[in-house]
A = this chain, B = another copy of it.
Amino acid sequence: MMRLACAVVAAVMVFCCSAARADEGMWTFHGFPIAKANATLKTNIDQAWLDRVRQSTVRLANCTASFVSDEGLMLTNHHCVESCLAELSSKEKSLVEEGFLAKTHDEEKHCQTQVADVLIGMEEITAKVDAAIAGKDETTANDVRKATLTQLESACEKQATQKCQTVTLYQGGQYWLYKYKRYTDVRIVFAPEASIAAFGGDPDNFQFPRWCLDMGILRAYENGKPAKTPNFFKFNFAGPAVGQPVFVSGLPGSTNRLLTLAQLKQERDLELPQWLMRNSEIRGRLIQFGHQDPQNERISADLLNYTQNFIKVRRKMVETLNDDSMLARKAAEQATLQKMIAKDPKLKKSIGNPWHEIELALATERGLFEAHTYIEEGAGFQGRLVNFARVLVRGAAERAKPNSERFREFTDTALPRIEQQLAARVPVYPDLEQLRLDQSLERMREWLGPDHPLVRKLLSTESPAGLARRLVDGTKLADPAVRMELWKGGAAAIAASTDPMIVLARAVDPDARAVRKAYEDGVEAPVRSATERISRARFAAYGTTVYPDATFTLRLNWGTVQGWNENGAPVEPFTRLSRLFERATGAEPFRIPDSWLRVKDKLDMNTLFDLTTNNDIVGGNSGSALINDKAEIVGLLFDGNIHSISGAYWFDVEKNRAVGVHPAIIREALSKVYGADGLLTELTR
């Protein structure tokens, strides 16, 4: 699945823009080339169309959704509601496995950690940011830039009830303030069983042909009632024809299409391989844990799916970065820009040699990488409980500071979301917590070494397993009331706490802050300064003919329904229901759920099931509706083909394909399998 990675915005890893080819391009709504789109596609979309599409599109915490009725009904993917289903499950009963259908509004259940945001306003603030950092050295500029963004967000939120977030585009070429209508009461309405939503499981993930009903339906509530949402998409159940123009409005999470060569190499050699080793081991532990008994399998399924998805993504990213021809293309792009700068003495003077500065910063990064990853980023402290503890400890210290001096993730704008997560009554499974904390502590000891000061501080008399057991058994943080009491109690409550997980987090925090500071000053600040200049040069050269890299903010792109050629053989862009039954083995992950087997004879085996298009999407776009030029839903994107993973670095026009659910199978399933007549009525009225 095309999941959004946890940390969508790792500051130094979000980069710039590229000159767009063909159907490529993740365009902002304020920079969308309407004329070019209409000319290419022979369509007639206009600003009103764009406004309507924008306000029908929803940013979830981890995905995209679309309004599909005027009563707040939202269509997204099953894998986007999976964590909600898991939170509503127990050891004994899994809604992920069993699926869910609310027959009435009363049966719709609250997704406690979900939010739904609609983009209602966009204001450019580039000049304000540039003015604030003018003349500052790069370390100071890095701090001042963050403080300025915090101040602008706070000022914006004081004016209204809207949610305000700043957005960095073109790596500093533009700054924007985005204004959202936020729904914090989001409820689950429908989800099919995981075995049909993700038929083929990890083996078929990122493959095509596919037969996945990867859909989920949520509803936004306001004041305890279904929200009024006049902007929404209607379904066109006939779906699109081959070659038909289609649009995707959604939130691509992160692309790195203009990293320098040195940065690509660092990602290939350092970050990705370590992540893959670490998570391959976690995968092994989770699988074995699940094999111990069915309850274990149930409580770890969500995390295992997440882990396996990103293993596939990242190993394909490494493959992409090992492709010499791709690197050669990047080198040529870099050289072209460098030549352009060299020709213009004034530009050259203002740009300097940012590529060399980045190389120096990356050398610093190599020395800090393991400590930063394990200590500050938390690879050494995995699990819900320890994460709660770290947020509580750090949050208490940060909230004691003036808003603009805090870490950006603890500004006033960010606090309500943190509180929502701390207060959520989500299940915590001690055995799973034990597994994760033990594993991460053990690997931290390996990578930092037994003689690292923090390792000695934590593990001089205990084994990782022993320490994890003591903390998980002793902490009370599984109780949201305890968490909220500590949160509200602030620094004093944290200082007084004897909860062993809080004690651990207090011990870790100074070391984590130290390595973060070293990282921000030694890596982030110089890379940000250098890439801003690269970006400025690029922006000057290519202007608005380029699109910014993805940043989990709203984008629109176009394409057409089409397959591709694999080893010389064409891959058709549609699958049909009949082949699902041929492919099934009866064993997971190729098992068709009983609900389908029971009604098999009634189903139309010719029903179109999944489809592919050449839209330029990445993780974060999951759940995006595929719409036609009438803004009707003709598909529901949930994945890309295997070649789409290279989209992190470039758009492979020949082979990169988005994969979606066909609307025909949605109707067939809701009607004949799930008897969701009320839902179908709402979708079609």
Contact = CB atoms under 8 A, between A and B. Distances in A.
Contacts of A445: 203
Contacts of A322: 269-270
A315 B285 CA distance: 20
Nearest to A291: B465
A260 interface: no
Contacts of A34: none
A435 interface: yes
A439 interface: yes
A8 interface: no
A446 B203 contact: yes
A204 interface: yes
A116 to B, nearest CB: 34
Interface residues of A, number: 46
A283 interface: yes
Nearest to A311: B277
Contacts of A138: none
A200 interface: yes
A461 interface: yes
Count of this chain's copies in the oligomeric assembly: 2
A204 B291 CA distance: 31
Contacts of A450: 200, 203-204, 207, 590
Contacts of A311: 277
Interface in A249-295: 269-270, 273, 276-278, 280-289, 291-292
Contact of A273 (B276, B289, B292, B459): B276
Identify the interface centre among A459, A585, A590: most chain B CB within 10 Å of its CB.
Answer: A585
B461 A585 contact: yes
A277 B312 CA distance: 11
A512 to B, nearest CB: 21
A585 B462 contact: yes
Contact of A449 (B203, B277, B289): B203
**Main DSSP-derived SS at the A contact region:** helix
A586 interface: yes
Given A202-B446, A446-B203, A449-B203, A462 B277 contact: no
A92 to B, nearest CB: 21
A588 interface: yes
A466 B81 CA distance: 30
A244 interface: no
Contacts of A585: 459-463
A437 to B, nearest CB: 13
A587 interface: yes
Nearest to A207: B449
Contacts of A273: 273, 276, 315, 318
Contact of A277 (B200, B207, B277): B277
B277 A284 contact: no
Contacts of A285: 284-285, 287-288
A591 to B, nearest CB: 9
Interface string A587-611: 1101000000000000000000000
Contact of A466 (B286, B449, B587): B587
A462 B587 contact: yes
Contacts of A461: 585-587
Contacts of A288: 284-285, 288-289, 435
A174 B202 CA distance: 49
B439 A284 contact: yes
Interface string A566-588: 00000000000000000001111
Contact of A284 (B284, B292, B587): B284
Contacts of A280: 276-278, 280-281, 284
A486 B278 CA distance: 42
Contacts of A590: 450
A269 B318 CA distance: 8
Identify the interface centre among A280, A284, A287, A585: most chain B CB within 10 Å of its CB.
Answer: A284
Interface in A164-209: 200, 202-204, 207
Nearest to A446: B203
Identify the interface centre among A283, A291, A445, A462: most chain B CB within 10 Å of its CB.
Answer: A291
Nearest to A308: B446
Interface in A533-574: none
A445 B439 CA distance: 26
Contacts of A435: 288, 291
Contacts of A284: 280-288, 439
22 contacts: A203-B445, A203-B446, A203-B450, A269-B322, A273-B315, A277-B277, A278-B280, A284-B284, A284-B285, A284-B287, A284-B439, A285-B285, A285-B287, A291-B438, A291-B465, A450-B590, A461-B586, A461-B587, A462-B587, A463-B587, A463-B588, A466-B587
Interface of A: 200, 202-204, 207, 269-270, 273, 276-278, 280-289, 291-292, 311, 315, 318, 322, 435, 438-439, 445-446, 449-450, 459-463, 465-466, 585-588, 590
Given A203-B449, A207-B450, A461-B587, 8 more contacts: A269-B318, A277-B277, A280-B281, A287-B439, A288-B288, A288-B289, A291-B435, A462-B587
7 tightest Cβ-Cβ pairs between the two chains A and B: A284-B284, A463-B587, A288-B288, A281-B284, A280-B280, A284-B285, A269-B322
